Amino acid sequence: MGPIDLAVLDELREQVGAEFTIELIDTFLEETPGILSDLRSAAGIADADGYRRAAHSLKANGAMFGAAAFASLARDAELSGVHTDPDVSRSLLDAIDAAYAAAATCLQGIDRG
């Protein structure tokens, strides 16, 4: 499976229409870099609440668009919480960034009718 489960996107389209799905995707693409940056900042200062909240948001948004790998990594971050060893956090954060980049490329390529 690619970075986006197209069946999930189809379901969303069916639910709210193609045009609004594009609007949601655009909002996701606008909002996510900020949340990824919040996650990294929270990891840097060991802000457990901020880290969990940012990871939680990424997980929910990822699941909505069928970005399964991205959502799953965000879930790992949410459940494991901020790590005292910055290297552990960094490798997870890098993986989340990469998964997002792949999902975003795929979503940007969606037919906009």
Number of residues that bind another protein (CB under 8 A): 20
Backbone angles phi, psi at 13, to 5 degrees: -60, -40
Cα–Cα distance between 22 and 107 in angstroms, integer? 9
Q: What does the CA dihedral 84, 89, 90, 96 come to, rounded to 10 degrees?
A: -160
Query: Using CA atoms, how far apart are residues 51 and 35, in angstroms rounded to an integer?
Result: 10
* Cβ neighbours for 111, distance < 8 A, ≥ 6 positions apart: none
Interface of this chain with another protein, residues 74 to 113, rule: CB under 8 A: 78-79
Q: State the DSSP code for 82.
A: -
Task: Return the range that interacts with another protein (CB under 8 A); candidates 39-47, 61-69, 81-89, 102-110.
Answer: 61-69
Verify binding: residue 24, another protein, rule CB under 8 A: yes
Q: Given candidates 2, 6, 31, 94, which one binds another protein under the rule CB under 8 A?
A: 31
User: CB under 8 A: which stretch of 40-48, 55-63, 83-91, 97-105 binds another protein?
Assistant: 55-63
Instruction: Using the minimum distance from each CB to another protein, give the nearer residue, 64 or 90.
Output: 64
**What residues make contact with another protein under the rule CB under 8 A?**
15-16, 20, 23-24, 27-28, 31, 50, 52-53, 56-57, 59-61, 63-64, 78-79
